[in-house]
């Protein structure tokens, strides 16, 4: 819903976009000042689904709090859970079995592809192309079926635990992942044909929403929006965790800094995730899928930090422990909040119709921001 709510002293119009507008990807409310069709200012109004997750976590045990983060960036739930498990393991000095490490990374990269698939379909639909949404879900549902068979869920899997994973992979897991890789490679050309190479789509994206490398760093932007401006910030490369330093893959960088560059980063990232999965799927070590840990976990007194690379950027978990069974303080650094902060800067001087393209290439998941 777009609604005029007032005018400034110099005659500019102030409008609401959202919180129910279909292009706002959730309950995001933007108060926009425009002069004709030109954007003067974009002010996000947050808090519509704030649930005080950080405070909730302080009353939960070190096993329980992990799964609250599935409800933040729900499209990166595996990766969020992974960060929390790693942070607890750092405090406990737990050595995770090699099998569990490989399974975790496989799940992370399948999650990244599934998230980017949904983004691709929604991005195209926001700009008026409905067909790609169905193509994207064809591949995404294949991943969800694999997740459901091993984890018992399709969205908030709750699979990562301190010490490894909750249960071993399903006997069909490896074959189904190989079948998915074959399917993905046979269909990726359709993405270029339908969207990437479409001249109308390119005209809507190129030169729109420019973000310089300096501004990306200044706003704390991470993930594909930062790498679309040429900023090297892939946590899997800069601060490797699990087995990422043993894998061969590229950090995808584009230098144009516009919406099309951010689009291309995600398209190319999916191919790199496939490359990672191919390196691991036939090389899952034998052994335990979970280290032996106590039923009730107590972190030693101190401060612990872990960061990972989700589908939207850098996600950080900071725990302050006083030696008890629950954290004294937990702080989450979610990528969506910082990425959204750059929207006003990107949008000023652009046309109102271009705002949808900019928002789409930021790939906002609102519970990741309203936590």
Prediction pTM value? 0.94
Same domain? For 18 and 91 the reply is no
Residues 149 and 193 in one domain: yes
Contacts of 111 (CB under 8 A, 6+ apart): 75, 76, 77, 78, 79, 143, 311
Q: Are 285 and 347 members of one domain?
A: yes
| Mode of pairing for the β-strands spanning 2-7 and 314-321 | unpaired
Residues 33 and 130 in one domain: no
Give tens-digit pLDDT for 259-301. Answer: 999 999 999 999 999 999 999 999 999 999 999 999 999 999 9
Which residue(s) pair with 303 in the sheet? Answer: 320
- The pLDDT, as a whole number, for residue 239 is 95
Q: Are residues 21 and 120 in the same domain?
A: no
Q: Which domain holds residue 9?
A: 1-48
Q: Which of 31, 48, 65 represents a domain boundary (last residue)?
A: 48
Instruction: State residue 47's pLDDT score.
Output: 86
Say whether both 135 and 198 belong to one domain.
yes
In angstroms, the CA 102 to CA 289 distance is 10
- Do 3 and 99 lie in one domain? The reply is no
pLDDT the model gives residue 28:
87
Please check whether residues 326 and 256 belong to one and the same domain: yes
pLDDT of residue 43: 95
**Residues of the chain below pLDDT 70:** 1-4, 21-25
- Per the CB < 8 A criterion, the answer to whether 209 and 132 are in contact is no
Specify the number of domains making up the chain. Answer: 2
pLDDT in tens, 319-363: 999 999 999 999 999 999 999 999 999 999 999 989 999 999 999
61 and 24 share a domain? no
Q: Are 30 and 144 within one domain?
A: no
152 plus 253 within the same structural domain = yes
Return phi, psi of residue 220, to 5°: 75, 25
Q: What is the Cα–Cα distance from 253 to 265, expressed in whole angstroms? A: 7
Measured CA to CA, the distance from residue 46 to residue 57 in angstroms comes to 21
Q: Rounded CA gap, 119 and 113, in Å?
A: 10
Q: What is the CATH number of the domain that holds 147?
A: 1.10.645.10
Pair (30, 150) in one structural domain:
no
């Amino acid at each position: 819903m777009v609604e005029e709510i007032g005018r400034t002293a110099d005659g500019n119009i102030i409008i609401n976009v959202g919180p129910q507008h279909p292009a706002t990807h959730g309950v995001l409310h933007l108060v926009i000042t425009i002069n004709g069709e030109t954007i003067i200012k974009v002010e996000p109004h947050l808090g519509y689904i704030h649930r005080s997750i950080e405070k909730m976590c302080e009353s939960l045990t070190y096993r329980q709090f992990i799964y609250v983060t599935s409800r933040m960036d729900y499209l990166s739930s595996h990766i969020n859970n992974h960060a929390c498990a790693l942070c607890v393991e750092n405090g406990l000095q737990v050595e995770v079995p090699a099998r569990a490490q490989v399974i975790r990374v496989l799940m992370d990269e399948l999650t990244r592809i599934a998230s980017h698939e949904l983004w691709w379909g929604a991005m195209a639909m926001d700009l008026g192309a409905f067909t790609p949404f169905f193509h994207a879900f064809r591949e995404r549902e294949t991943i969800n079926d694999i997740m459901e068979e091993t984890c018992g869920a399709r969205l908030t899997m709750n699979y990562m635990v301190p010490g490894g994973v909750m249960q071993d992979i399903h006997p069909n897991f490896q074959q189904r992942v190989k079948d998915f890789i074959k399917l993905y490679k046979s269909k990726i050309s359709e993405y270029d044909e339908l969207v990437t190479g479409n001249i109308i789509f390119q005209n809507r994206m190129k030169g729109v929403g420019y973000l310089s490398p300096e501004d990306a760093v200044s706003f704390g932007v991470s993930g594909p929006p930062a790498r679309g401006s040429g900023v090297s910030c892939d946590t899997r490369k800069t601060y490797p965790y699990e087995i990422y330093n043993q894998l061969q893959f590229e950090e995808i960088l584009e230098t144009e800094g516009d919406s099309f560059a951010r689009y291309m980063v995600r398209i190319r990232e999916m191919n790199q995730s496939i490359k990672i999965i191919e390196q691991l799927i036939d090389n899952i070590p034998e052994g335990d899928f979970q280290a032996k840990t106590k039923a009730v976990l107590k972190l030693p007194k101190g401060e612990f930090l872990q960061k990972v690379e989700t589908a939207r950027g850098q996600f950080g978990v900071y725990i302050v422990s006083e030696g008890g069974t629950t954290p004294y303080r937990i702080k989450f650094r979610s990528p969506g909040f910082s990425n959204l902060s750059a929207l006003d800067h990107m949008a000023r001087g652009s046309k109102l119709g271009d705002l949808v393209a900019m928002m789409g290439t930021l790939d906002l998941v609102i519970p990741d921001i309203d936590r």
